[in-house]
């Protein structure tokens, strides 16, 4: 399976180890019932699925073990390296969601954990929707979630830290309502062979106006668009706050 991708820097590679250890698995438990209800229930057993921006692959592996024929893409080679351990046997490609080609079509697709908030602008999101649509069979469902601005205001104006016996990561997050960009600046340390190594990285997300998102979906060829508040869809924890799931049909 070949994937074309836009040449870009690897800003998410340093984040991958910490994401895999501390965040990748936590979201899975809350998101899986929503994905099962809104997406998987519409598909036949053994249906083919595309995991868009699969990250470190914990969720990918879970869906694969449910019996679906799944493939995944992510722009970070380091994320994909972890995903190959967490989703053994799943074809995974390093590829930019705005410009990729897997040369096959799927019965459905999803992108979770606000992955598409990492696309920096609505033009790039529109490009992503076009590429995803080209990889779906007619009538195939596409499910994804995005943070609303209230989530950025609450969660992206704070500091946080995660610590265990092998990693330390301190994060400072700031949301600028004028640019609609949230910036997370982090200093991390991980222990390898009893030596602590420092890693600095920055991760950004953009709040995308939801009406503009729907317009981009329609222009890409999607129809039957529906929005679901995450808490109404069954997410009861903090991750469900100000999060919207979009369901569209190719």
CA distance 80 to 86: 10
Q: Is the pTM of this model over 0.85?
A: yes
How far, in Å, CA of 152 to CA of 114, rounded?
A: 11
Strand partners, 247: 143, 226
Provide the pLDDT for residue 238: 86
**Domains within the chain, CATH numbers bracketed:** 13-147+208-249 (3.40.50.150), 151-205 (2.20.25.110)
What pLDDT digit, counting tens, does each position of 135-154 carry?
A: 999 999 999 999 999 999 99
Cα 198 to Cα 23, 191, 193, 244: the distances in Å are 19, 9, 14, 35
Q: What percentage of the chain exceeds 70 in pLDDT?
A: 95
pLDDT tens-digit readout, 17-44: 888 988 766 678 889 999 999 999 999 9
* Helices assigned H by DSSP within the chain: 13-18, 26-38, 58-65, 77-86, 122-134, 149-155, 210-220
Instruction: Give, as one character, the DSSP assignment of residue 239.
Output: G
């Amino acid at each position: 399976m070949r994937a074309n991708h836009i040449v870009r820097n690897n800003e998410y590679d340093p984040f991958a180890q910490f994401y895999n250890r501390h965040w990748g698995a936590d979201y899975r438990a809350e998101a899986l019932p929503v994905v099962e209800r809104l997406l998987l229930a519409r598909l036949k057993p053994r249906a083919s699925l595309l995991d868009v921006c699969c990250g470190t692959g914990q969720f990918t592996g879970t869906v694969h073990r449910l019996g679906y024929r799944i493939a995944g893409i992510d722009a970070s080679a380091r994320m994909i390296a972890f995903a190959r351990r967490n989703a053994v046997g799943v074809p995974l490609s390093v590829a930019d969601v705005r410009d990729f080609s897997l040369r096959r079509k799927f019965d459905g697709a999803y992108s979770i954990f606000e992955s598409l908030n990492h696309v920096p602008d609505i033009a790039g999101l529109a490009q992503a929707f076009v590429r995803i649509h080209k990889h779906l069979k007619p009538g195939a469902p596409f499910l994804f979630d995005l943070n609303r601005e209230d989530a950025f205001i609450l969660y992206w104006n704070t500091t946080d830290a995660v610590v265990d016996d092998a990693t330390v990561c301190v994060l400072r997050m700031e949301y600028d309502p004028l640019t609609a960009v949230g910036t997370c600046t982090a200093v991390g340390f991980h222990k390898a062979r009893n030596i602590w190594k420092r890693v600095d990285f920055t991760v950004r997300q953009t709040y995308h106006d939801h009406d503009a998102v729907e317009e981009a979906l329609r222009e890409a060829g999607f129809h039957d668009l529906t929005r679901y508040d995450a808490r109404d869809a069954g997410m009861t924890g903090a991750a469900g706050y100000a999060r919207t799931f979009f369901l569209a049909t190719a």
